[in-house]
Amino acid sequence: MKNTRKGTLIGLTVILLIMALGSVIQAAEEDWDAIIAAAQQEGSLTVYDLSSRMGIAAELFEEKYGIKVEWSKMNDVEISDRVAREHEAGVKGADVIITEDAAILIAQLLPQGYVVNYVPPTHVDLIPVEYQNPLVYRHQPRIIGYNNEVYSELPIKNIWDLTTPAWRGKFMMRDPQLTSTNLAWFAEIIEHADLMAAEYERHFGEPIELTTPNAGWEFIKRLANNRPIIFSSDTDVSEAVGARGQTDPPIGLYVISKHREIEEKNLALEAAYGLEPIMGYLYPTFLVMTANSHSPNAAKLFISFLLDEDGMSAWAKDMGNFSTNPTIPPHEDDPLGGTAAWAQVTFPLNAQTTIKYYADLFDFWLLHAR
């Protein structure tokens, strides 16, 4: 796995050149009625996605257009590997993929021609330009949360506390080897090394002593050395943190949309509002066509559908998912009020920052998470 993911990264200069030249297909001259008719003639499409909510979106799409959506839930590594293999073999696979792995998408899948960035004419004037290359259709916060049955208030004040002996073996997160956004979060921590150093000194009252190039790398090393508990899903993390009846519960990093399950699963969960300097990160989800799509018109129509209120409803029905379509408001129960507010209390992920550190971070985490 290690060599596969690292080996997919190409030189940063080439990546930035590709991004500068642009790869957006903005088919503003397309006859959209003709696209719909051709999509219905194709009759079906295949989607690879990370979320089980795709099942809801698929049903809504079929109800609206009469087009069947066959979908498979996979993680980012599985999606990128499968798309590459299917393309090379020339076999029918996905028509649309949804991924959170900015580095692999920008460094491998797009430049090697496995996928095509497509912004439909229905939304080219709606979606902000900064979310069009590659196309982002939603954002989501992954936050640090705690058990509020045991703790009446936030049990840590600063994320540096997670590196202390008091929290050794008591911090839970998804596996960074399989969760690209966790590596991207680490990249942002490195990029904000000056802030991390200042926060350390403010919190502990003395300058940080480094064994790494800067305070960002030092935080990651100390976190890895502090024996975090690794899971494969946000569900596992949130349930382990929020289970009732514990006396010494862990803290965890998970998507805040898991709070929708608090009542159903009788969980004791609270987000770490007020944690310094940040309480997690805000990450994009990308939406692209495959280059060898067997149902290209259905793929285009489905992309347009997910950018609209009907398609986004599968995610927007609960708080913690934000469409890049500004006409779709955040959930009424969202405690902060949308993407801009969450960006103030988290590190928003930046694709170029991710690419800058991605390969080195993969090896660094493996070295120290023992």
b or e along 176-215 (b: 16 or more beta carbons within 10 Å of the residue's beta carbon)? bbbbbbbbbbbbbbbbbbeebbebbeeeeeeebeeebebb
**How would you classify the pairing of strands 251-255 and 171-174?**
parallel
Position 333 scores a pLDDT of 83
**Residue closest to 275 by CA, chosen among 161, 115, 149:** 161
CA dist 248 → 130, 170, 171 (Å) = 43, 9, 12
pLDDT band, very low/low/confident/very high, at 162 (cuts 50, 70, 90): very high
What are the residues whose beta carbons fall under 8 Å from the beta carbon of 14, sequence distance 6 or more?
A: 111
Q: In the predicted model, is pLDDT for residue 316 greater than 90?
A: no
Residue 187 confidence class, pLDDT cut points 50, 70, 90: very high
- Segment (H or E) for 348: strand 347-348
Confidence at residue 320, expressed as pLDDT on a 0 to 100 scale = 87
The mean per-residue pLDDT over the stretch 263-287 comes to 97
**Lowest-confidence segment of 3-12, 117-126, 312-321, 333-342 by average pLDDT:** 3-12
Global pTM value: 0.90
User: Do the beta carbons of residue 45 and residue 67 sit within 8 Å?
Assistant: yes
For 148, other C-beta atoms within 10 Å of its C-beta total: 18
Is pLDDT at 18 greater than 80 in this prediction?
Answer: no
Is the model's pLDDT at 5 over the cut of 80?
Answer: no
Burial class (CB in 10 A: 0-12, 13-18, 19+), 41: exposed
For strands 96-99 and 115-119, give the pairing: unpaired
Q: Rounded distance, CA 96 to CA 98, Å?
A: 7
pLDDT of residue 331: 86
CA distance 325 to 287: 13
Q: In this structure, are residues 250 and 172 in contact, taking their beta carbons and an 8 Å threshold?
A: yes
| pLDDT recorded at residue 48 | 97
Q: What is the arithmetic mean of pLDDT over 260-264?
A: 94
Q: Which domains does the chain have, with CATH numbers?
A: 2-139+283-336 (3.40.190.10), 141-281+362-368 (3.40.190.10)
Any bridge partners for residue 341, and if so which? none
Residue 266 pLDDT class (50, 70, 90 cuts):
very high
**112-118 average pLDDT score:** 96
Going by pLDDT thresholds of 50, 70 and 90, the confidence category of residue 3 is very low
Residue pair 284/131 in contact (Cβ under 8 Å)? The answer is: yes
